[in-house]
Amino acid sequence: MTATTARRVLLAAPRGYCAGVDRAVIAVEKALEQYGAPIYVRKEIVHNKYVVETLRKKGAIFVDETEEVPEGSIVIFSAHGVAPVVHEEAERRKLATIDATCPLVTKVHKEAVRFAKEDYDILLIGHEGHEEVIGTSGEAPDHITLVDGPGDVENVEVRDPDKVVWLSQTTLSVDETMETVDALKERFPGLVSPPSDDICYATQNRQTAVKQVAADSDLVIVVGSKNSSNSVRLVEVALGAGAKAGHLVDNASEIDEAWLEGVATVGVTSGASVPDVLVEGVLEWLAERGYGDVEVVQPMEEKLTFSLPKELRRDLRAEAERKAAG
């Protein structure tokens, strides 16, 4: 870095918690308060190490499958959604369930059910093995084929090329998804598009914001866990938008001082499952190294919130009424 180059941080907004993550995390906290520990949670409630550890300390027990939950216990389903067989298994085992599936994931499930009923072949663009994709595929396993990026398009086979629709995981790169759609359209000109965007508002907004930041950054630091799809995508989008370097870190302790060599502007953002306290830690770390000048880059505002899962709302309301009655 030259002596005349000022060091600064461009902080992307919106970043961090989306409405679906906020709702899911609050659902676990409220369930712990309402019913007491332990509360079982199937899979990571959201893909963030810090959030999962914090809830674990408060009494949440994270399991991979409902069969690990003792009969009669309470289990919360994560924001990524579950296949109908998981609901059936929970019912068989007499578990009380709280479904924290993000409403925007539920929307994609409903689209899958509707198009399957109309006997479409559904091409689900998403990442193989991701919990959301497993959940959505489970809604109509005989109708859904996973398409994992543009390179996968040539392998796709359908029954009737004139009766094909595409849907997608909610947390993909917008640009890469459109590349996949274009390639699919070349193979299947009659391909039907979903009635509205499946890639959710939060994923889209975070990508738009990081693109603006990246264009002027030598280095972009994305705070997020490695299994968080939307966080990983933010690094890719930043690099595609002109950032000279980009790294994903769970927190400030994972930043390598060597990344700062020759760097004047550092872009900072975070995935949709990341609490802002982790971003604050990164900003403090950077300020200690001369990057104390922080400029917020905010192309849009977000106001969306979701109400808590209905099972929890019912019990919280009943509790409030009991207390009010004396």
Catalytically active residues, by annotation: 132
Residue ranges for the known binding site for dimethylallyl diphosphate are 47, 80, 130, 228-230, 273
Handedness of CA 13, 16, 19, 22 (dihedral sign): negative
Tell me which stretch binds ligand SF4 (CB under 6 A): 100-108, 249-257, 280-288, 289-297.
100-108
Residue 181 to residue 250: CA distance in whole angstroms: 32
Residue 25 touching ligand SF4 (CB under 6 A): no
Minimum CB distance to ligand SF4, residue 235 (Å): 16
Residue 203 touching ligand SF4 (CB under 6 A): yes
Residue 322 to residue 194: CA distance in whole angstroms: 45
Residue 201 to residue 267: CA distance in whole angstroms: 21
- Ranges of beta strands (E only) in the chain are 8-12, 39-42, 60-63, 74-77, 96-99, 121-125, 144-147, 164-168, 219-223, 245-249, 265-270, 294-297
Residue 20 touching ligand SF4 (CB under 6 A): yes
Residue 133 touching ligand SF4 (CB under 6 A): no
Residue 19 touching ligand SF4 (CB under 6 A): yes
Q: Are 249 and 274 in contact (CB under 8 A)?
A: no
Q: Are 33 and 240 in contact (CB under 8 A)?
A: no
Per rule CB under 6 A, count of chain residues that contact ligand SF4: 15
**Strand, coil or helix: 202:** helix
By rule CB under 6 A, what string of x and - marks binding of each residue 159-198 to ligand SF4?
-----------xx---------------------------
Tell me which stretch binds ligand SF4 (CB under 6 A): 15-23, 174-182, 214-222, 259-267.
15-23
Nearest residue relative to ligand SF4 (C-beta): 20
Residue 273 to residue 23: CA distance in whole angstroms: 11
* Helices and strands counted in the chain (H then E): 10, 12
In the complex with ligand SF4, the residue whose CB is nearer, 62 or 188, is 62
Q: Taking CB under 6 A as the criterion, which residues in 40-99 touch ligand SF4?
A: 79
Residue 272 touching ligand SF4 (CB under 6 A): yes
Residue 102 touching ligand SF4 (CB under 6 A): yes
In the complex with ligand SF4, the residue whose CB is nearer, 304 or 316, is 304
Tell which phi-psi region holds residue 149, choosing left (phi > 0), alpha (psi between -120 and 50) or beta: left
Residue 96 to residue 74: CA distance in whole angstroms: 5
Judged by CB under 6 A, the residue of 31, 183, 202, 268 near ligand SF4 is 202
Please give the DSSP secondary-structure letter assigned to residue 300.
-
Judged by CB under 6 A, the residue of 10, 11, 12, 18 near ligand SF4 is 18
Footprint on this chain of ligand SF4 (rule: CB under 6 A): 18-21, 79, 102, 104-105, 170-171, 200, 202-203, 230, 272
